[in-house]
């Protein structure tokens, strides 16, 4: 691992009992951070070493903590501490000893660790982020990420007042391959040709076998079947035997092609957790069953949005009944596909990485250059950007290049590119007329929703490229564009006049 530059350390565990979900979503975030030139290290309990090859294949260093089971005061520990019997104080000491140096961020994704552990690590990390799903314990963290589709008020009283909260599937830590598969996908047809089964990395209780049985009836025998399991699955031989009599069935162990397999399927069967959100990114209609109590609230929230059908249990009978309900209705599957696609776009890791790096490195700006044209066109034509623009038509490359050339040559225009640790995150364009400069801002779609806009406006306000005579700053906003209105108000602007189709915001430059 490089000795200089920025470092982010992760604390997460994997085991046959808890699966590898915590480690995998940390690796997804690490991959997004590596795009900023950040070195990453994952610190894990000895059981996590089983996944060392996978961790290191992602360019993340792995350190196995020196932890020994000891007498655990269960009454003082979080409810999920049973398998981690060494206690938080021992864990914190081992983590501190294993850190190669003080990281820019320490990110903890662990149900058995809470504010006590985080406070013990404060001397070793200037910033701590907690990844959580449970909202059942306090955190002494600067940033809290919960990627589940649940109520925002769950963490009241559990966080420091100044802690940043990134809540909801918009911030889901999903591998880039899923967003890529989403871009290349078309809506599924009415035929149920392929079924995808993935019941999580742990597969405790043999739910994969139950899912195979659930689709073994004559009505679904002609559908191709892709069954995915992790290498640590102790029932691999039994699963292979269950599939041996089905010519159109394939068993995939630790597949790197999960996104493609889900995108190619017409129906999915799975559990909760991150995989439920992965299915949403590619719009896969699904039958799901919670394999642990903490999975049920998230699955029920997805079901309430029409994005999945939750079976009462992971038994073959319950899964089979739910599968039958979806298999016999292509209209229901189509509605579920559309609902799932609306849950998340798969760019959550980019957003979280941008939020982390903006805290560590800040937001800067530079003058736009001719080779920025393609990037600005991509941002402008993203549906989420066009929906809030005064002109919602897609812009052609020809017209964009003509406009961009004029803007770069216009002495009354200043086009700035926002940067987080050297990576573009958005743009601000000033149109200067006398002592007034009017701002137009676009935040890159993959970094929206993490507070970069106000930082970008502030950097643009202070940049010396803005002519000195411009002492009054303006911005026009559509009345219904609440995100932009909040953005400018956060940046010190106030509404000063209103027309039928736009509101004028203003602030002094100084």
The alpha carbons of the chain give a radius of gyration, in whole angstroms, of 25
Residue 338, marked binder? no
Query: What does DSSP say about strands 423-433 and 413-420: parallel, antiparallel, or unpaired?
Result: antiparallel
CA distance 19 to 221: 30
Report helix, strand and coil shares of the chain as percent, to nearest 5. Answer: 40, 20, 40
DSSP symbol at 62: E
DSSP state of 161: T
DSSP tag of 435: T
184, 175, 183, 172: which is closest to 146 by C-alpha? 172
In this structure, are residues 424 and 354 in contact, taking their beta carbons and an 8 Å threshold? no
Instruction: Please list the residues that pair with 508 across neighbouring strands.
Output: 472
Q: Is 189 exposed, middle or buried (0-12, 13-18, 19+ CB in 10 A)?
A: exposed
Q: Helix crossing, 21-34 with 274-281: angle to 10°? A: 50
User: Which stretches of 9-127 are DSSP H helices?
Assistant: 21-34, 52-57, 88-98, 115-121
Count of C-beta atoms within a 10 Å radius of residue 1: 12
CB 478 within 8 A of CB 505: no
Q: Nearest to residue 12, comparing CAs of 119, 131, 96?
A: 131
- The span from the CA of 52 to the CA of 46, in Å, is 10
- Chain mean position to CA 132: 13
Does 278 carry a binding-site annotation? yes
Report residue 310 as tokens. Answer: 């939750």
**Distances 189 to 103, 179, 192, 194, 342 between C-alpha atoms, Å:** 49, 21, 8, 11, 19
**Helix, strand or coil, per DSSP, at residue 142:** coil
Structure tokens, 102: 């003080």
SS3 314: coil
Buried b (16+ CB within 10 A) or exposed e, 20-56: bbbbbbbbbbbbbbbbbebbbbbbbbebbebbeebbe
Q: Known catalytic residues?
A: 22
Q: Nearest Cα to 271, choosing from 220, 332, 229, 221? A: 229
Strand pairing class (267-270; 194-198): parallel
CA distances from 396 to 377, 414, 441, 491 (A): 8, 22, 20, 32
Tokens of 152: 């925002």
User: Do strands 494-499 and 472-477 pair parallel, antiparallel, or not at all (unpaired)?
Assistant: unpaired
Q: Which residues are annotated as a binding site?
A: 175, 278
Q: Which residues are annotated as a binding site for substrate?
A: 175, 278
């Amino acid at each position: 691992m490089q000795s200089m530059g920025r470092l982010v350390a992760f604390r997460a565990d994997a085991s046959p009992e808890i699966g590898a979900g915590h480690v995998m979503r940390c690796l997804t975030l690490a991959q997004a951070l590596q795009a900023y030139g950040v070195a990453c290290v994952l610190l894990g309990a000895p059981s996590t070493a089983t996944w060392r090859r996978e961790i290191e294949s992602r360019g993340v260093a792995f350190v196995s903590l020196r932890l020994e089971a000891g007498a655990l005061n269960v009454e003082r520990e979080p409810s999920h501490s049973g398998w981690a019997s060494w206690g938080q104080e021992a864990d914190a000491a081992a983590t501190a000893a294993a850190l190669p140096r003080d990281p820019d961020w320490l990110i903890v994704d662990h149900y058995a660790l809470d504010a006590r552990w985080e406070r013990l690590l404060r001397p070793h990390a200037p910033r701590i982020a907690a990844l959580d799903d449970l909202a059942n314990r306090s955190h002494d963290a600067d940033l809290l990420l919960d990627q589940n589709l649940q109520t925002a008020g769950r963490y009241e009283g559990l966080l420091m007042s100044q802690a940043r909260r990134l809540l909801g599937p918009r911030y889901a830590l999903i591998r880039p391959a899923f967003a890529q598969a989403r871009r290349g996908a078309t809506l599924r047809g009415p035929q149920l040709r392929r079924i995808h089964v993935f019941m999580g990395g742990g597969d405790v209780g043999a739910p994969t076998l139950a899912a195979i049985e659930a689709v073994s009836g004559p009505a679904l025998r002609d559908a191709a079947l892709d069954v995915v399991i992790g290498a640590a699955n102790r029932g691999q031989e039994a699963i292979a035997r269950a599939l041996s009599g089905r010519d159109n069935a394939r068993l995939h162990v630790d597949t790197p092609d999960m996104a493609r397999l889900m995108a190619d399927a017409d129906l999915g069967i799975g559990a909760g957790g991150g995989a439920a959100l992965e299915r949403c990114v590619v719009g896969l209609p699904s039958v799901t069953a919670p394999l642990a109590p903490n999975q049920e609230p998230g699955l029920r929230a997805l079901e309430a949005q029409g994005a999945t059908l939750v079976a009462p249990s992971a038994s073959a009978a319950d899964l089979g009944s739910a599968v039958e309900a979806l298999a016999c209705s292509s209209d229901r599957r189509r509605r579920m596909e559309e609902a799932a696609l609306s849950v998340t776009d798969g760019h959550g890791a980019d957003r979280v990485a941008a939020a982390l790096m903006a805290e560590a490195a800040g937001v800067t700006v530079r003058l736009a250059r001719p080779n920025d044209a393609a990037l600005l066109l991509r941002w402008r034509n993203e549906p989420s950007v066009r929906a809030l623009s005064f002109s919602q038509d897609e812009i052609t490359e020809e017209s964009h290049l003509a406009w961009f050339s004029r803007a770069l040559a216009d002495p009354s225009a200043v086009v700035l590119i926002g940067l987080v640790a050297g990576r573009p995150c958005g743009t601000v364009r000033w149109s200067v007329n006398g002592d007034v400069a009017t701002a137009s801002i676009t935040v890159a779609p993959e970094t929206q929703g993490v507070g970069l806009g106000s930082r970008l406006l502030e950097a643009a306000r202070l940049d010396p490229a803005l002519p000195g005579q411009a002492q009054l700053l303006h911005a026009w906003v559509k009345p219904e564009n609440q995100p932009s209105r909040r953005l400018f108000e956060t940046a010190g602007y106030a509404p000063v006049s209103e027309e039928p189709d736009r509101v004028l915001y203003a602030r002094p430059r100084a």
